[in-house]
């Protein structure tokens, strides 16, 4: 019975089972479970032989929800290991993502401006100092559940003038030496990232070299911070792994992090699956099969939840197919009477990092993000087809706008032969006489429109983000309106 139930569960991870028209009740001799397995009844009770199948289904259902719950922390934990093991960057080094190839493995990375990032281990370091130089920067600190802990740069307390930030571990909340911007951290592992907004690459390189990261107790003689680049020609993806590797990464990161009150039920579910704080991850074959099936089904759920959002008021223009990417109401992920489980899941399956600057309501500052996953007819965007998008004149961005193409499977920049994933106001695009711009997406460039084209890949679906840096009042009042992406026959 146990093996039969497992086969049904694994099948349920691949096949959507449609229920019959006839409704069954708990008192009938047979009931159909949501995973598609038959549960035989002994009168009003499940029969003895059906009990293992019910427990398997309980574990399977809970594992799918644990998969969704773990998406933000697993994404950061996996990316952190890429920094440490693939790039040979330490906790106190910076990784400089400068070129297109550098950014290929980042979840929905921006292809227009460079990123500078670090994963800081407070367990190894203790309280940690970040010295930020003066400059035109936007950045911040996030915990490993991807909640913003502090803003750094022009929108932070240093106002772009530079300063010393002190990251304080969760167990040392009262540690507040003078002369620092104190950042109480909710997790032991922390993410630090910023972008240099000056378009001059030399200014960016100079600024990056001035950033320092070091343990507070080494402040008198800190080890110099290295600036590391991703290795050329080496494929990597800083995204959530699949299969049993997902659970291995989740187990490993949970060993270091405190358990919050909101997460105690999830930790109870994980215990049944061989994942527990303070104990090695050694699932038996039965648990392993359930975990692998649940990761497959959980990813399907995550795709639906991200790419076909069912949240209220998710469309920027109600009659168009442009979604708000940033659907979490607050970086804390708290809402009235609940935490934003599904909103958090939707965003962190397809993206990383979140800050108030990304959800600004103030014209001319921060950023605004819109995502499109469908063409104007409601079909997934297909890499084998040709599409066009008209950008009306005077896009609502003080600084610049960009539109970036992502591979739906990896949620990373499209890895095309063109070696280009974005079009933006910083590029030399062909304009129409009315000031609008026609953009093109497809396997081959339309003749004479190569400057306005991004190459897509047959056999792969894609989606896109439209970013406005310094969104103006015309964005917020919706007086500027963009059409949907249209297929060109």
Mean pLDDT of 137-142: 90
Does residue 408 form part of some domain?
yes
Does residue 472 form part of some domain?
yes
Q: Is 21's pLDDT higher than 50?
A: no
CATH of the domain at 385: 2.60.120.600
Residue range 172-203, pLDDT digits in tens: 989 999 999 999 999 999 999 998 878 788 98
Q: Which helix (H) or strand (E) holds 181?
A: strand 181-184
For the chain, give the percent of residues with pLDDT over 90: 82
> Which stretch of 78-87, 231-240, 385-394, 433-442 has the lowest confidence by average pLDDT?
231-240
Residue range 278-325, pLDDT digits in tens: 999 999 999 999 999 999 999 999 999 999 999 999 999 999 999 999
Contact 87, 228 (CB under 8 A): yes
Considering the domain architecture, whether residues 286 and 313 belong to the same structural domain is answered as no
CATH of the domain at 24: 1.10.3360
Lookup result for tokens 């571990």: 169
Considering the domain architecture, whether residues 152 and 38 belong to the same structural domain is answered as no
**Nearest Cα residue to 117 out of 232, 235, 225, 219:** 225
Residue 442 phi/psi, 5° resolution?
Answer: 170, 175
pLDDT of residue 10: 52
Q: Which helix (H) or strand (E) holds 470?
A: strand 462-471
Considering the domain architecture, whether residues 392 and 459 belong to the same structural domain is answered as yes
CATH of the domain at 155: 2.60.40.1610
Contact 333, 149 (CB under 8 A): no
Q: Tell me the pairing of strands 338-339 and 94-97.
A: unpaired
- DSSP characters over 437-467: EEEEEESSPPTT-GGGEEE--TT-BEEEEEE
Lookup result for tokens 């961005």: 397
Residue range 26-81, pLDDT digits in tens: 333 333 344 456 899 999 999 999 999 999 999 999 999 999 999 999 999 999 99
Q: Is 25's pLDDT higher than 70?
A: no
Considering the domain architecture, whether residues 62 and 92 belong to the same structural domain is answered as no
Considering the domain architecture, whether residues 55 and 106 belong to the same structural domain is answered as no
Tokens of 106: 């980042």
Considering the domain architecture, whether residues 11 and 107 belong to the same structural domain is answered as no
Considering the domain architecture, whether residues 44 and 112 belong to the same structural domain is answered as no
SS3 call for 170 = helix
Considering the domain architecture, whether residues 460 and 314 belong to the same structural domain is answered as yes
pLDDT of residue 2: 54
Considering the domain architecture, whether residues 418 and 338 belong to the same structural domain is answered as yes
For the chain, give the percent of residues with pLDDT over 70: 92
The pTM (predicted TM-score) of the whole model is 0.91
Is residue 17 very low, low, confident or very high in pLDDT (cuts 50, 70, 90)?
very low
Does residue 252 form part of some domain?
no
**Nearest Cα residue to 466 out of 72, 51, 112:** 112
Does residue 77 form part of some domain?
no
Considering the domain architecture, whether residues 119 and 214 belong to the same structural domain is answered as yes
Which residue range is the domain that position 21 belongs to? 1-70+240-246+258-298
* Positions of E strands within 327-410: 334-335, 338-339, 367-372, 387-391, 397-407
Does residue 204 form part of some domain?
yes
pLDDT of residue 416: 96
Does residue 80 form part of some domain?
no
Rounded Cα distance, 308 and 328, in Å: 16
**Nearest Cα residue to 465 out of 449, 452, 482, 479:** 482
In the chain, the number of structural domains is: 3
Mean pLDDT of 327-339: 90
Residue 405 phi/psi, 5° resolution?
Answer: -105, 130
pLDDT of residue 37: 64
Is residue 5 very low, low, confident or very high in pLDDT (cuts 50, 70, 90)?
low
Q: Is 356's pLDDT higher than 90?
A: no
Within 13 Å and on the Cβ side, how many CA atoms surround 269? 22
* Positions of E strands within 25-161: 30-32, 38-42, 45-46, 94-97, 115-121, 128-132, 137-143, 148-153
Does residue 127 form part of some domain?
yes
* 226 contact partners, CB below 8 Å, separation of at least 6: 89, 90, 93, 94
Considering the domain architecture, whether residues 199 and 267 belong to the same structural domain is answered as no
Rounded Cα distance, 239 and 52, in Å: 34
Q: Is 150's pLDDT higher than 50?
A: yes
Considering the domain architecture, whether residues 109 and 219 belong to the same structural domain is answered as yes
Q: Is 463's pLDDT higher than 50?
A: yes
* 183 contact partners, CB below 8 Å, separation of at least 6: 141, 149, 150, 165, 166, 167, 168
pLDDT of residue 26: 34
Does residue 325 form part of some domain?
yes
Tokens of 121: 């281990």
């Amino acid at each position: 019975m146990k093996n039969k139930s497992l086969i049904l569960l694994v099948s349920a991870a691949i096949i959507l089972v449609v229920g019959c028209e006839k409704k069954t009740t708990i008192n009938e001799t047979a009931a159909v479970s949501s995973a598609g397995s038959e549960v035989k009844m002994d009168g009003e009770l499940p029969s003895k032989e059906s009990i293992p199948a019910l427990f398997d289904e309980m574990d399977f259902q809970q594992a799918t929800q644990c998969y969704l719950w773990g998406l933000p922390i697993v994404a950061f934990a996996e990316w952190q290991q890429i920094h440490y093991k693939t790039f040979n960057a330490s906790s106190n080094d910076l990784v400089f993502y400068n070129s297109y190839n550098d950014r290929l493995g980042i979840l929905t990375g921006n292809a227009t401006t460079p990123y500078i990032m670090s994963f800081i281990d407070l367990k190894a370091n203790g309280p940690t100092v970040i010295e930020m130089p003066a400059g035109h920067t936007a950045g911040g600190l996030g915990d490993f559940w991807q909640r913003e802990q502090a803003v750094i740069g022009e929108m932070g307390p240093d106002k772009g003038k530079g300063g010393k930030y002190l990251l304080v571990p969760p167990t040392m909340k009262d540690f507040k030496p003078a002369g620092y911007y104190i950042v109480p951290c909710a997790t032991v592992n922390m993410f630090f990232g910023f972008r240099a907004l000056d378009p001059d690459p030399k200014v960016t390189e100079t600024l990056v070299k001035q950033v320092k990261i070091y343990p507070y107790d080494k402040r008198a003689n800190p080890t110099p911070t290295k600036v590391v680049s991703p290795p050329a020609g080496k494929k990597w993806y800083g995204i959530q792994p699949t299969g049993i590797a997902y659970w291995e990464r989740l187990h490993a990161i949970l060993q270091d992090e405190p358990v919050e009150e909101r997460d105690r039920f999830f930790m109870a579910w994980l215990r049944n699956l061989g994942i527990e704080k303070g104990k090695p991850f050694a699932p038996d074959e039965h648990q392993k099969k359930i975990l692998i099936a649940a990761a497959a089904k959980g990813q399907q759920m995550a795709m639906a939840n991200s790419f076909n959002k069912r949240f209220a008021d998710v469309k920027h223009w109600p009659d168009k197919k442009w979604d708000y990417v940033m659907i979490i109401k607050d970086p804390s992920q708290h809402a009235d009477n609940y935490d934003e489980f599904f909103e958090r899941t939707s965003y962190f399956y397809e993206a990383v990092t979140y800050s108030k600057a990304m959800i600004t309501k103030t014209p001319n500052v921060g950023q605004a993000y819109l995502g499109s996953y469908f063409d104007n007819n409601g079909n997934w965007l297909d890499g084998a087809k040709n599409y066009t998008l008209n950008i009306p004149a005077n896009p609502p961005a003080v600084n610049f706008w960009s539109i970036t193409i992502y591979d739906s499977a990896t949620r990373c920049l499209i890895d095309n032969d063109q070696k280009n994933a974005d079009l933006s106001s910083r590029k030399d695009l062909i304009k129409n006489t009315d000031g609008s711009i026609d953009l093109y997406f497809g396997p081959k460039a339309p003749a004479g429109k190569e400057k306005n084209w991004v190459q897509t890949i047959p056999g792969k679906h894609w989606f896109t983000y439209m970013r406005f840096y310094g969104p103006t009042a015309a964005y917020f009042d919706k007086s500027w309106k963009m059409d949907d992406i249209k297929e060109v026959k």
